[in-house]
Amino acid sequence: MHMDSVFDDSAIALRPTIIEVDLDAMRANVRGIRDHVGDARIMGTVKANAYGHGLIRTARELLHFGVDELGVAFLEEGIALRRAGITAPVLVLGGIIGNQISHFLEYDLQITASSVYKLHQIDETAAAMGRKAAVHLKIDTGMGRIGIRHENASQLFAVALEAQHIELRGVYSHFASSHDADHSFTRLQLQRFNDALEFFPTEGLPFPIRHIANSGAILQHPDSVLDMVRPGIMMYGVYPGPDVQHSIPLQPVLSMKTRVVYFKVVREGQSIGYDHTWTADADTRVVTLPVGYGDGYARRLSDRADVLIGGTRYPVAGRISMDQCMVNIGSGSAYNGDEVTLIGRQGEEVITVEELADLCDTIPYEILTMINTRVPRKYLSTR
């Protein structure tokens, strides 16, 4: 068996801990975005293993569902898409260093240029290779990560247009708080972006593809849609913040499941797990699950999270280990092989990504993206 095949959905039968990806829900979310943004192009963001959903299969499905382009964070992710045979436009959204540029050109990946210096590096490398580099220019309108400051953007535009071996495909920026109930800073960022873009009509030039709208902006800032949008977490059925407008109905895509591998009775006063953080206050039944923080089921969920067995909530008992954890089922019943839901629905009960994020004092993005690649993904569809 090829080492990678254990992570393919064709080879998941041996491991009881799996991620289920509901492709029907993903399709519905993409359709909702399409209906909302009209003719604007959609760049589906599939960085960080497609937010935990599996890079290659998710990318293929999103393109099938009508996404026009793909966005990744790093060069390696773009190369993985190309090696898998994906030919759609791919933009690498992160910053680059000089020795990566030839690989961008070799694999026909769109490059983010965030400074005049980077543009010169790209132009020189493309010239040496006898190619043209497809480039998107990054403008910093207030996020403060990468990108030329908005008030200096005209310098970047001018150099890009003069370069002989650069094809200017797009100009973009990124919102810092588009998911917030307070819209003031998002409006300021959009104004800065639009002001910078006035360079093009002033010079009598057509706009390149303009894009700034992420999930939060798609949901509550329709004036930011422009020529292309970059949905991420909303494609996977999770809203980007607790206060964001639910202007598009979303369906959760990911479930995390495992099975009971051990059952025992713990006597009153007996402790279990590392550091003995949980002690039985009466005789009780405890089951062991073959999942832990090495799979991305966070250690911070110890003694906090619930799981679902037979449609009933039961609490995690004791420290979550790297590969195992225990659950107190009280006087309930569970047998070896019984299905356990860590994220998702079982019967009338549901455990959401948002619930686990609150318990970990973090955001849903982190819960999804920290699910390890050793957990196999299974893709489900009724079509």
Strand partners, 278: 272
Q: Looking up tokens 């713990």, which residue turns up? A: 266
Angle at 164 between CA 162 and CA 169, to 5 degrees: 75
What is the rounded end-to-end Cα distance, in angstroms, of the chain?
29
What is the DSSP pairing of strand 349-351 with strand 339-346? antiparallel
| Cα 135 to the center of its chain, rounded Å | 23
Q: Which one of 262, 274, 297, 335 is the catalytic residue?
A: 274
47 catalytic per annotation:
yes
Q: Which one of 47, 118, 138, 257 is the catalytic residue?
A: 47
Tokens encoding 91: 């933009």
Strand partners, 139: 148
239 catalytic per annotation:
no
Contact 211, 227 (CB under 8 A): yes
Contact 137, 160 (CB under 8 A): yes
Tokens encoding 103: 């690989």
Q: Looking up tokens 């002989």, which residue turns up? A: 164
Q: Cα(25)–Cα(33) distance, rounded to whole angstroms?
A: 13
Q: Cα(373)–Cα(25) distance, rounded to whole angstroms?
A: 22
Active site residues: 47, 274
